[in-house]
């Protein structure tokens, strides 16, 4: 008995194995499905919705949806592309993303998704929410202005670091990442080498004293779009 079967992505037959998600099967075949909250070392979360595809006629998040035999998947599809563009836009306007001075600029996955999708301006008005900065920790800072609620830090701290430093609190528009029931970061046992610190896709959790180390022109997404390495290009992207 074989666990291998065929699924079709944008008209191309690819091999998938039982237990693989659509995103994983596509990636193994060199097809990049844009994503933000997904991280290969963490349990799928399915919250950012950017990896949405149409599978057998229904929209679903490809990072959580298991691949099934003979599945028909639309990834580079005008409708899907429009959804993704809208989602990326909404992530930009919901927070305070000032790329010009952000230390993460050039290596930021949200910004890189904007570049990849040709986003030059947002149609929605910016909300400019008032958010906190936690710089109490000697080695790590948390800027909630840039947080996109992907939950990577929450999952990494809980499942990899075994510390549960970060968690979600509140709901809806009030939802945010908090540390140990609202104590500041310096009063947690978070460490600079923790997975939770390294997996932030944006500039919300940053190591201190390492800002702007790579000059403009030498940063991760300066010359190659996000996803290039998956698609077999010469990019240096590691996802």
Partner 1 sequence: MPHTSKPKVATCSLAGCFGCHMSLLDIDARILQLAEIVEFDRSPINDYKEFQGHCRVGLIEGGCCNEENVHVLRDFRKHCDVLVSVGECAIMGGIPAMRNTIDLKECLDEAYLNGPSVYNPGGRVPDDPEIPLLLNKVYCAHEVVKIDYHLPGCPPSADTIWEALVALLSDNPVSLPYELVKYD
Binding site for partner 1 (CB under 8 A): 92, 96, 98-102, 105-106, 111, 114-115, 118, 120-122, 125-126, 128-131, 145, 216, 222-225
Q: How many CB atoms lie within 10 A of CB 120?
A: 6
3-state secondary structure of 69: coil
Q: Which residue's CB is nearer to partner 1, number 122 or number 229?
A: 122
Q: Which residue's CB is nearer to partner 1, number 11 or number 125?
A: 125
3-state secondary structure of 42: coil
Q: How many CB atoms lie within 10 A of CB 108?
A: 26
Beta strands in 46-175 (DSSP E): 52-55, 58-61, 72-74, 133-134, 140-143, 166-169
Q: Which residue's CB is nearer to partner 1, number 58 or number 130?
A: 130
Q: Which residue's CB is nearer to partner 1, number 2 or number 120?
A: 120
Q: How many CB atoms lie within 10 A of CB 199?
A: 18
CA-to-CA distance for 87 and 37, rounded, in angstroms? 12
Q: How far is the CB of 119 from partner 1 (least distance, A)?
A: 8
Q: Which residue's CB is nearer to partner 1, number 1 or number 216?
A: 216
CA-to-CA distance for 210 and 206, rounded, in angstroms? 8
3-state secondary structure of 180: helix
Q: How far is the CB of 99 from partner 1 (least distance, A)?
A: 4
Q: Which residue's CB is nearer to partner 1, number 28 or number 93?
A: 93
CA-to-CA distance for 38 and 152, rounded, in angstroms? 8
Q: How far is the CB of 42 from partner 1 (least distance, A)?
A: 27
89, 96, 112, 120, 127 from 131: Cα distances, Å: 19, 8, 23, 25, 11
CA-to-CA distance for 39 and 213, rounded, in angstroms? 24
Q: How far is the CB of 171 from partner 1 (least distance, A)?
A: 21
Q: Which residue's CB is nearer to partner 1, number 98 or number 168?
A: 98
Q: How far is the CB of 38 from partner 1 (least distance, A)?
A: 23
Q: How far is the CB of 114 from partner 1 (least distance, A)?
A: 7
Q: How far is the CB of 71 from partner 1 (least distance, A)?
A: 31
CA-to-CA distance for 116 and 18, rounded, in angstroms? 31
């Amino acid at each position: 008995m074989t666990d291998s079967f065929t699924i079709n992505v944008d008209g191309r037959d690819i091999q998938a194995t039982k237990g693989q998600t659509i995103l994983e099967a596509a990636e193994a075949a060199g097809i990049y499905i844009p994503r933000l909250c997904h991280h290969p070392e963490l349990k799928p979360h399915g919250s950012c919705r950017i990896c949405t595809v149409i599978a057998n006629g229904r929209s679903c998040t490809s990072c959580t949806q298991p691949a099934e035999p003979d599945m028909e998947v639309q990834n580079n599809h005008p409708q899907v592309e429009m959804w993704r563009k809208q989602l990326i836009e909404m992530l930009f306007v919901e927070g305070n993303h000032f790329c010009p001075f952000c230390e993460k600029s050039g290596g930021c996955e949200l910004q890189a998704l904007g570049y990849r999708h040709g986003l030059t301006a947002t149609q929605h008005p910016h909300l400019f929410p008032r958010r906190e900065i936690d710089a109490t920790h000697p080695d790590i800072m948390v800027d909630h202005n840039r947080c996109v609620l992907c939950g990577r830090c929450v999952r990494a701290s809980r499942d990899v670091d075994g510390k549960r430093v970060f968690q979600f609190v509140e709901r809806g528009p009030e939802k945010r990442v908090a540390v140990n029931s609202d104590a500041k970061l310096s009063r947690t046992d978070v460490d600079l080498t923790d997975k939770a610190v390294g997996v932030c896709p944006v500039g919300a959790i940053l190591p201190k004293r390492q800002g702007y180390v790579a000059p403009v022109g030498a940063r991760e997404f300066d010359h190659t779009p996000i996803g290039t390495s998956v698609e077999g290009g010469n990019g240096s992207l590691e996802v």
